[in-house]
Amino acid sequence: MRRIIALIFCFYCIEIIHAQNDTALFKVIAFYTAKEDAAHISFVHEANRWFPKIAKEYNFIYDSTNDWGNLNAAFLSNYKVVLFLDTRPDDSLQRAAFETYMKNGGAWMGFHFAGFALTPSAYPQNWDWYHNEFIGAGQYVSNTWRPTSAIVRVEDPTHPTTKGLPHLFKSSPNEWYRWEKDLQQNPDIKILLAIDSSSFPLGTGPKLNEIWHSGYYPVAWTNTHYKMIYLNMGHNDIDYEHGTNAELSFQFENDTYDKFIINALLWLAGKNN
């Protein structure tokens, strides 16, 4: 009798899952690597805790995988939105599959290190379509240190991703990137968020070039030829100095940042927000 009751309960659970899948508005797949850098690993784990909660609230399905072999046409056809949480594919077949997916109407959101490329490094700029055309920023040039909060300015208050956001807000601590290409000069790029000048000086060093005193620094943008959003945020503050690798800050403890991510995800999925 107990076995029969257990089977009935299991079937009931399966039916609930199927019902949830049937009524979900869309499906999201997040790719990640989560190796080497503790700050990026921390962000990946944080994202994989936060997105499932948001998925329940907004009725979508969130899956994640560290198997980049899944970056193929058959697998991607199951998903409305693709996330790159901390890097990008290196395999030529995976890259081709992703490019085809995007050119055929797929949607993408990439965070922080997903846009990184530097030659020479372990992540060289050897994917022109992705870094130069799609994201549009080219290679990484430099960054602030240590991870520091910035005052972020909404550059396009009419875009669906910035709906309900204040003109200025304080970000969570982050390592901020500077890029090879001037995105303001790219007619295909619409900048959504940028660092406000009231943030300067930004960074604490110890190296002088890790402290920014002026300049224009986009931190979130879209390419108008694709359904995509790139965000520079995605590097938590870690206690490297004392060797503990303790997590000192998180990205998703910021209501305004969270609102932007939710807006962006719903926009990418073609849903009203």
Contact between 58 and 262 under an 8 Å Cβ cutoff? The reply is yes
Flag whether pLDDT at 19 surpasses 90. no
Check residue 13 and give its pLDDT: 39
Check residue 23 and give its pLDDT: 85
**Residue 223 CB neighbour total at 10 angstroms:** 20
Average pLDDT over residues 31-40: 96
Q: What percent of the chain has pLDDT over 90?
A: 90
The Cα 198–Cα 162 span in angstroms is 20
> Which one has a higher pLDDT value, 167 or 3?
167
Rounded to two decimals, the pTM is 0.91
Q: Nearest-5° angle of CA 30, CA 237, CA 203?
A: 120
* Residue whose pair of structure tokens reads 């199951």 in the numeric block: 78
Check residue 15 and give its pLDDT: 33
The Cα 236–Cα 205 span in angstroms is 16
Average pLDDT, the chain: 93
Q: Is the peptide bond before 166 cis (omega within 30 degrees of 0)?
A: no
Burial of 93 (0-12, 13-18, 19+ CB in 10 A): exposed
Check residue 252 and give its pLDDT: 95
Check residue 253 and give its pLDDT: 85
Banded model confidence at residue 22, pLDDT cuts 50, 70, 90:
low
Flag whether pLDDT at 12 surpasses 80. no
Which of 131, 153, 150 lies closest to 141, judged by CA? Answer: 131
pLDDT digits (tens, 9 = 90+) for 44-96: 999 999 999 999 999 999 999 999 999 999 999 999 999 999 999 999 999 99
Banded model confidence at residue 36, pLDDT cuts 50, 70, 90:
confident
Check residue 46 and give its pLDDT: 98
CATH superfamily label, 28-268:
Class I glutamine amidotransferase (GATase) domain (3.40.50.880)
pLDDT digits (tens, 9 = 90+) for 223-256: 999 999 999 999 999 999 899 999 999 999 899 9
The Cα 151–Cα 254 span in angstroms is 13
Banded model confidence at residue 191, pLDDT cuts 50, 70, 90:
very high
pLDDT digits (tens, 9 = 90+) for 1-11: 445 444 444 44
Contact between 229 and 264 under an 8 Å Cβ cutoff? The reply is yes
Check residue 16 and give its pLDDT: 32
Banded model confidence at residue 127, pLDDT cuts 50, 70, 90:
very high
Kindly give the interhelix angle for 255-268 and 38-58, rounded to the nearest 10 degrees.
70
Domain segments of the chain as ranges:
28-268
Check residue 70 and give its pLDDT: 98
